[in-house]
Copies of this chain bind each other. A is one copy, B any other.
Amino acid sequence: MFSLAIHGGAGAVTRETIPTSEDPLFRKGLRNALDAGTAILSTGGSALDAVEAAVRTLENDPLFNAGRGAVYTKKGVHEMDASIMDGSNLKAGAVAGVRNIKNPVSLARKVMEESGHVLLSGKGANEFALKVKAEMEPDDYFYTKFRYDQWLRVRHTDFYHLDHIVSEDPDRKFGTVGAVAMDAHGHLAAATSTGGMLNKQYGRIGDSPIIGAGNYANDATCAISCTGHGEYFIRYAASFDVHCLMEYKGLSLEEAVRTVIFDKLKVAGAEGGMIAVDAKGNISLQFNALGMHRGFRHSDGREYVALYNNE
């Protein structure tokens, strides 16, 4: 038995804000990521390999704000964050503010496996990338006309574009991608990757590279990947809280995710969502925003891909 869930960001995702022509492209992108992950899981591969593969696929798709297609910072560059966690041994790796890295999630995995650390940042993380021969790409690779034009409109302002703001702005695109999986051996893993906020400055780090905030995995309970207003997800240790609600209060995966997304984050004014699996193969995809790019696939044959509130 295996299960896999993915997301491509939450926010003002509605039929009104997503151009009709892009709807099938987003769904195709999500299916491609599910394909990459299930190719590994269905042949007995590990949850860790599956979430990395699924997130790499989303990073390589310029439609999503992670890897290729990342938004521009105030200085007009791409600074990306990613993390990965192995629920079988609670090992984790993450990078923050890296540039020119084709697949930040794979660099996060190298941090986990080869650095002796959990979180590397900025130029230092890029030096580590050179040492471990991470795949690099020139700035051009990360260019997308849509994101560049978006940045040109806001670069002279202090405006920054969060994933989470409920906005009817037709320019809205939604950041952060993630994957969670349970493999045939009962192990869990989670991975998250983002291009961050449009026009971000001051080396802001959101929840995506923070273990326990935007990403967490523990075979005893759950694997979680988040998307939304990162500052709140950090302050509420959103993904670790799901683990604790299951471990200490005995809540089910569905109840624990609902508690954090609605009773805590929504009440606090934070918009976002979460994808989660538990060690029994249960899957939960919940969000308090208008929509969330999301999908899952289960070894029992169920498959689901959706963008908006109900479809």
Contact = CB atoms under 8 A, between A and B. Distances in A.
A127 interface: yes
26 contacts: A85-B235, A90-B268, A117-B231, A118-B230, A118-B231, A118-B234, A118-B235, A119-B205, A119-B206, A119-B210, A119-B234, A120-B202, A121-B204, A122-B122, A127-B201, A127-B202, A127-B203, A128-B201, A211-B213, A211-B234, A211-B237, A212-B234, A216-B237, A237-B237, A244-B244, A245-B248
Contacts of A17: none
Task: State the oligomeric state as a number of copies.
Answer: 2
Contacts of A249: 248-249
Q: How many of chain A's residues touch chain B, expressed as a range?
A: 35 or more
A262 interface: no
Contact of A121 (B85, B121, B212): B121
A167 interface: no
Contacts of A241: 240, 244
Contacts of A202: 115, 117, 120, 124-125, 127-128
Given A97-B121, A212-B212, 11 more contacts: A92-B234, A92-B235, A117-B202, A117-B231, A119-B205, A122-B203, A127-B203, A211-B235, A237-B240, A244-B244, A244-B248
Given A119-B234, A212-B234, A203 B244 contact: no
A120 B205 contact: yes
A148 interface: no
Contacts of A248: 244-245, 248-249
B236 A90 contact: yes
Contacts of A231: 116-118
B120 A90 contact: no
A90 B240 CA distance: 16
Contacts of A266: none
A234 to B, nearest CB: 5
Interface string A177-220: 00000000000000000000000011111100011110010000
Given A212-B240, A248-B244, A96 B124 contact: no
A117 B231 CA distance: 6
Interface string A146-168: 00000000000000100000000
A91 interface: yes
A240 B241 CA distance: 8
A28 interface: no
A201 B124 contact: yes
A280 interface: no
A15 interface: no
Interface in A76-107: 85, 90-92, 96-97
